[in-house]
Amino acid sequence: MDPSDELQRVHFHSPASLVERLDAIAEVYDTNRSALLIEALRKYLDKTTDSEPFQELVATKYYDDQLDFETVTQLVGPETAQRFRLLKVDLEDEPLDLAAPDDVDVYDGDPTAVDAEVRQLYERYQAAESDAERRKIALEMGALDGRRHADIYAALQNE
């Protein structure tokens, strides 16, 4: 527990059978109810806030102005909150009305084809266990996109 966190009394009702189990476990570990409840609550909150469904729900509520940025930061951490903020700004902007080039085949014939490098990055991202790991992979994805865009722009310049 963070030493700067001040303890706050919380009162709630619980089924007697859960309290009995909690007391028995506390006795086995030679600790008290509060210590076990704090640890269980911390683990639950960490697991919940790191889950994709929860983060998607927070993002949706933030984009719909049901949550403010400070609350989002508290729920998902500053790094993820900042990503949500940037995406929200992008979503609020009017899309650019750019026509696709007629004579440049940016997909090499098949717009649904996914090459091995993209698939590997996607699978690594899905399997990532931390925001830091996901951020690193997202940066790799961005670098890959940048290389591909450079190829597209070079082809357009050579017209």
| Domain annotation covers residue 9 | no
With respect to residue 2, please indicate whether it lies within any of the assigned structural domains.
no
Domain count, the chain: 3
Question: 128 and 156: one domain?
Answer: yes
Same domain, 22 and 62: no
> Distance (Å, rounded) from C-alpha 90 to C-alpha 62?
14
pLDDT, tens digit (0-9, with 9 covering 90-100), for 34-92: 999 999 999 999 999 888 899 899 999 998 899 999 999 999 999 989 988 888 887 77
CA distance 73 to 39: 22
Both 38 and 68 in a single domain?
no
Residues 142, 144, 150: CA angle, nearest 5 degrees:
100
Can you give the pTM of this predicted structure? 0.51
Residues 116-136 pLDDT 10s: 777 788 788 888 888 778 878
Q: Is-contact 131 77, C-beta < 8 A?
A: yes
- Residue 78 in domain: yes
Please report whether residue 6 resides in a domain: no
In 5-101, where does DSSP find H-type helix?
Answer: 16-29, 33-50, 52-63, 69-76, 78-92
The whole domain housing 85 covers 51-97
8 Å CB contact between 156 and 101: yes
Residues 44 and 88 in one domain: no
Q: Do 107 and 150 reside in the same domain of the chain?
A: yes
The yes-or-no verdict on residue 114 having pLDDT over 60 is: no
Establish if 38 belongs to a structural domain.
yes
Same domain, 91 and 117: no
Residue 84 has a pLDDT of 87
Say yes or no: 106 and 153 in one domain: yes
Decide if 28 is inside a domain. Answer: yes
Query: Are 134 and 103 in a shared domain?
Result: yes
d(C-alpha 75, C-alpha 78), whole Å: 9
Do the domain assignments include residue 7? no
Alpha carbon distance 133, 136 (integer Å): 5
Same domain, 136 and 108: yes
Mean pLDDT of 17-43: 95
Q: Considering the domain boundaries, does residue 21 fall inside one?
A: yes
Residues 21, 39: one domain? yes
